[in-house]
């Protein structure tokens, strides 16, 4: 299992204290002050405040441009007046050292000692939960993710949904939500009619066991090569039989499904990912038919050339097909039934479909039909789309050309690279522990290689880049973490209950300031459904640390104890951050 700590902690139990993260607490406090001088509501003041581009300009700034419009004065003048009157206050909050106007901004400088101590306490009073908030308290989110199609190998397309879905579920959990992860298998549809045709014609069920997926894929390709009207109609007939519950045909289908799930589970084990529910389209064929009937009766859907369709052209969503002319169900109708069922079962507040962007229209149609059926909760559903993986050459990878990369191959290639790198670094043979570590590094490479890209963008996939121990990669981040752990071991560091509090130098303070951003990043990544924010933060943090570490001597310096504390803080925040995107750290590398 990937690190459980953060996932299993209910924010309510352990995090009452952190209803507001520290930065927010300070912002609220400052808003109260500022509101005495302006007509803006406190909330607006707090949300307008931001971090200046450099710490030389203070820790937080309030822009006066909106006020300038209201008061019809220049922002510069307002900032100056406000800074002066705030500076004169007898009861300035302790955390504020200095208030200064710079251009149209009022800049606040924190007391660095107090701020650093507070951040230290927040990181370690609740280790593993630093960064967690309660914004989603009492809410339930269903996250549909992965959802590969059976009888095919687990390819790179579904890898994205799996990795991003997992990250989202962790991020939502860290925001106080109860999460339900559903894997919705593509296990129903006309393609299985073709497959059964192929199996019956050329196949041998006893051979299925050896290498089921490849065997099935070959048969499917063979059927497609043969395709003519007769094959087509025979295949359709097989699918119709499936829908009618034919025992013999269904028993074949069941075998295909079981073998496929076994294969998929190997991938999920490698990635350390599990689900709360594995369901599939097959569960919704019947209920899908009923919904289509209902839509017909209510005049929402209509017949056209024997099919049942719903015209969404006027909303710019084209025409949705709900039932084929041969009476069999279709993807869209099954999704309608699945959505209704999940709402009933889980009473979710939100439901996310983590699916490729090529299905955008499908989901628009789905949400729109639910609306027409009177399900006002359709607003709680979102399609969280991701882009494609492209080849190194920037070209599309498609299954039909046979150039699709299989997850098994990706894993093997990456894992081999990682183990050969580890072999270079140590003289002894790799033992079980090393191999376990290699597995974690491989995961980190694959997961970070994905999540570090904004999900809607296409990714040029280059395994040699993502596995590198240097640069913008998962293995680099693990290395940075492990190096800190090794430094702390060498210093025989033990985390003090009461930290050493001294005035930080600029370099040290930059690091503390970076730590303090983490809780807000967690909140934002949830609001924007964007795990890449966390990946980016992890890398920025590591860079800041690197810059600190190359410039600040630790061992033997008169600030050794203080700097060791900073290293300890860094590794803890980095660990939490990586954990949120599904990457587990290693203690040695």
- The contact set with ligand ARG (CB under 6 A) reads 144, 147, 149, 184, 186, 335, 353, 355
Report d(CA 489, CA 471) in Å as an integer: 25
In the complex, least distance from residue 156 CB atom to ligand ARG, rounded to whole angstroms: 12
Encode 75-87: b = buried (16+ Cβ within 10 Å), e = exposed: beebbbbbbeebe
Q: Which of 6, 26, 144, 3 is nearest to 520 (CA)?
A: 26
In the complex, least distance from residue 317 CB atom to ligand ARG, rounded to whole angstroms: 16
For 567, other C-beta atoms within 10 Å of its C-beta total 21
In the complex, least distance from residue 234 CB atom to ligand ARG, rounded to whole angstroms: 24
DSSP state, 85? H
What are the residues whose beta carbons fall under 8 Å from the beta carbon of 206, sequence distance 6 or more? Answer: none
In the complex, least distance from residue 186 CB atom to ligand ARG, rounded to whole angstroms: 3
Residues pairing with 106 in the sheet: 62, 101
Q: Identify which of residues 112 and 383 has a Cβ nearer to ligand ARG in the complex.
A: 383
Report d(CA 364, CA 316) in Å as an integer: 10
Residue 293, classed as helix, strand or coil, is helix
Q: Identify which of residues 335 and 568 has a Cβ nearer to ligand ARG in the complex.
A: 335
In the complex, least distance from residue 527 CB atom to ligand ARG, rounded to whole angstroms: 23
In the complex, least distance from residue 53 CB atom to ligand ARG, rounded to whole angstroms: 42
Q: Which of 269, 295, 264 is nearest to 280 (CA)?
A: 264
Diameter of the chain measured on Cα atoms: 90
In the complex, least distance from residue 147 CB atom to ligand ARG, rounded to whole angstroms: 4
For 245, other C-beta atoms within 10 Å of its C-beta total 10
Name the helix (H) or strand (E) containing 280. Answer: strand 277-280
Phi-psi region of 88 (alpha: psi -120 to 50; beta: other; left: phi over 0): alpha
Q: Identify which of residues 334 and 439 has a Cβ nearer to ligand ARG in the complex.
A: 334
Name residue, tokens 């079981």. 258
Q: Which of 446, 428, 430 is nearest to 584 (CA)?
A: 446
In the complex, least distance from residue 347 CB atom to ligand ARG, rounded to whole angstroms: 19
Q: Identify which of residues 118 and 147 has a Cβ nearer to ligand ARG in the complex.
A: 147
Q: Identify which of residues 335 and 517 has a Cβ nearer to ligand ARG in the complex.
A: 335
Q: Identify which of residues 329 and 565 has a Cβ nearer to ligand ARG in the complex.
A: 329
Q: Identify which of residues 101 and 164 has a Cβ nearer to ligand ARG in the complex.
A: 164
User: Using CB atoms, what's the residue nearest to ligand ARG?
Assistant: 186
Instruction: Determine contact, residues 543/49, Cβ cutoff 8 Å.
Output: no
Q: Identify which of residues 355 and 511 has a Cβ nearer to ligand ARG in the complex.
A: 355
């Amino acid at each position: 299992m990937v690190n459980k700590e953060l996932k299993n902690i209910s924010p309510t139990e352990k995090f009452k204290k952190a209803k507001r993260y520290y930065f927010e607490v300070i912002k609220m406090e400052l808003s109260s002050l500022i509101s005495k001088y302006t007509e803006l509501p406190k909330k607006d003041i707090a949300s307008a405040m931001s971090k200046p581009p450099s710490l030389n300009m203070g820790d937080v700034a309030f822009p006066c441009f909106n006020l300038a419009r209201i008061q019809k004065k220049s922002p510069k003048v307002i900032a100056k007046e406000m800074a002066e009157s705030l500076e004169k206050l007898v009861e300035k909050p302790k955390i504020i050292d200095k208030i200064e106007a710079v251009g149209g901004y009022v800049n606040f400088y924190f007391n660095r000692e107090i701020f650093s101590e507070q951040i230290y306490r927040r990181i370690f009073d609740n280790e593993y939960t630093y960064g967690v908030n309660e914004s989603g308290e009492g809410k339930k989110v269903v996250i549909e993710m992965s959802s590969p199609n059976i009888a095919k190998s687990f390819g790179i397309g579904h890898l994205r949904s799996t990795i991003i879905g997992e990250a989202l579920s962790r991020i939502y959990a860290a925001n106080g939500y109860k999460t339900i992860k559903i894997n919705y298998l593509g296990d129903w549809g006309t393609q299985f009619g073709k497959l059964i045709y192929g199996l019956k014609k050329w196949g041998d069920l006893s051979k299925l066991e050896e290498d089921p997926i490849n065997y099935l894929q070959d048969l499917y390709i063979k059927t497609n090569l043969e395709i003519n009207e007769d094959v087509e109609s025979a295949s359709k007939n097989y699918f119709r039989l499936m829908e009618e519950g034919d025992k013999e045909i269904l028993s074949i289908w069941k075998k295909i499904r079981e073998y496929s799930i076994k294969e998929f589970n190997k991938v999920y084990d490698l990635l350390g990912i599990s689900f709360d529910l594995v369901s599939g389209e097959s569960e919704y064929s019947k209920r899908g038919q009923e919904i289509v009937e209902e839509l017909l009766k209510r005049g929402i859907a209509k017949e056209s050339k024997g099919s049942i369709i719903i015209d969404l052209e006027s909303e710019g969503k084209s025409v949705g097909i709900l039932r084929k002319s041969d009476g069999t169900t279709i993807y869209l109708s099954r999704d309608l039934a699945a959505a209704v069922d999940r709402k009933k079962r889980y009473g979710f507040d939100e439901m996310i479909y983590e699916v490729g962007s090529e299905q955008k229209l499908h989901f628009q149609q789905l949400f729109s039909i639910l609306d027409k059926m009177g399900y006002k909760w359709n607003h709680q559903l979102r399609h969280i789309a991701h882009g494609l993986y492209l080849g190194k050459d920037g070209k599309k990878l498609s299954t039909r050309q046979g150039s699709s990369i299989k997850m098994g191959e990706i894993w093997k290639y990456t894992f081999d690279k990682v183990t050969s790198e580890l072999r270079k670094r140590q003289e002894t043979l790799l033992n079980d522990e090393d191999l376990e570590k290699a597995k974690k590094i491989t995961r980190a490479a694959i997961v970070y290689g994905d999540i570090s890209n904004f999900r809607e963008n296409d990714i040029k996939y280059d395994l040699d880049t993502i596995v590198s121990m240097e640069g913008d990669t998962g293995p680099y981040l693990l290395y940075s973490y492990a190096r800190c752990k090794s430094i702390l071991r060498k210093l025989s560091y033990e985390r003090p209950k009461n930290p050493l509090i001294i005035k930080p130098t600029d370099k040290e303070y930059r690091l503390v300031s970076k730590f303090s951003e983490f809780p807000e990043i967690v909140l934002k990544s949830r609001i924007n459904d964007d795990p890449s924010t966390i990946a980016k933060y992890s890398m920025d943090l590591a860079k800041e640390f690197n810059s600190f570490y190359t410039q600040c001597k630790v061992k033997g310096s008169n600030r050794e104890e203080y700097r060791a504390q900073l290293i300890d803080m860094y590794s803890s925040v980095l660990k939490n951050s990586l954990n949120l995107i599904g990457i587990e750290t290693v203690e040695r590398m």
